[in-house]
């Protein structure tokens, strides 16, 4: 029997446009193109959808088409391939797109004895790498089917999106014997309203228009950040590296 203390609560974080600016899948797609997993046509499509996602927020039709293409891309590759690619992309791209304010809040939760879980539509392997590299507790992502360690191009269950996020978060809290009323959730998208409504402490982060109106009506806390904060954090990190800190 484990002697690990139970968490006092759990903080659930969306990834795209909440923990980081833009879509993590786009940057993984760029890395896949560089390794000849995908074509120039694919990467141009990824790029257009990334630009739109940053500008106007999550669009379900576009996300669905990107994820369907992503499933095709990983066919024939192994889980180890995707994990290796994800580590490389985190170091080269994702770490420079993290919102420092959101990451700081997540670390405050950890310091307070709470677990921090990512809840994201991105592939479980990519979500695992992000959580691991940031020192978070874990991740709940979309599970891709494998056969003998090789991706088949099919899903196990459904995409971790909308109400599925709330279901997964509730199950995680129940497994940790934590009351969801004591938990937090952070997201930018109105598609995550079920998750935000589940917990006792919902927080919206750079929300889309629908979620912004919804949050104002319920007097939920709203975190608003500017890209300049990311640039400042990157500059500070480079200075620390130069000084050997």
> Where in the sequence numbering do the catalytic residues fall?
14, 16
Contact 194, 181 (CB under 8 A): no
Over the Cα atoms of the chain, what is R_g? 18
d(CA 161, CA 194): 10
Neighbours of 173 (CB within 10 A): 23
Strands 144-147 and 138-142: unpaired
Name the strand (E) or helix (H) holding 224: none
Contact 116, 106 (CB under 8 A): yes
For 155-173, give the DSSP string. Answer: ESS--S-THHHHHHHHHHH
d(CA 116, CA 137): 5
Q: Where are the beta strands (DSSP E) in the chain?
A: 10-13, 115-123, 138-142, 144-147, 150-155, 184-187, 201-205, 222-223
Neighbours of 147 (CB within 10 A): 8
For 37-54, give the DSSP string. Answer: SS-HHHHHHHHHHHHHHH
């Amino acid at each position: 029997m484990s002697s690990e203390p139970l968490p006092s609560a759990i903080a659930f974080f969306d990834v795209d446009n909440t923990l980081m600016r833009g879509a993590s899948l786009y940057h993984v797609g760029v890395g896949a193109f560089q390794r000849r997993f995908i074509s120039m046509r694919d990467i141009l499509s990824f790029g257009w959808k990334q630009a739109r996602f940053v500008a106007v927020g999550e669009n379900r039709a576009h996300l669905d088409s990107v994820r369907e293409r992503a499933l095709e891309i990983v066919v024939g590759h192994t889980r180890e391939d995707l994990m290796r690619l994800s580590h490389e992309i985190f170091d080269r791209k994702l770490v420079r797109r993290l919102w420092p304010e959101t990451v700081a809040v997540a670390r405050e939760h950890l310091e307070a004895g709470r677990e921090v879980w990512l809840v994201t539509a991105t592939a479980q392997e990519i979500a695992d790498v992000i959580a691991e590299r940031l020192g978070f507790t874990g991740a709940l992502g979309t599970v891709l089917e494998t056969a003998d360690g090789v991706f088949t191009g099919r899903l196990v269950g459904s995409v971790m999106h909308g109400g599925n996020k709330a279901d997964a978060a509730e199950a995680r809290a129940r497994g940790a014997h934590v009351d969801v009323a004591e938990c937090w959730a952070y997201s930018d998208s109105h598609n995550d309203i079920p998750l935000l409504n589940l917990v006792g402490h919902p927080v919206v982060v750079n929300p889309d228009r629908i979620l912004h109106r919804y949050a104002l009506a319920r007097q939920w806390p709203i975190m608003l950040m500017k890209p300049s904060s990311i640039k400042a954090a990157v500059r500070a990190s480079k200075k620390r590296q130069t000084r050997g800190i």
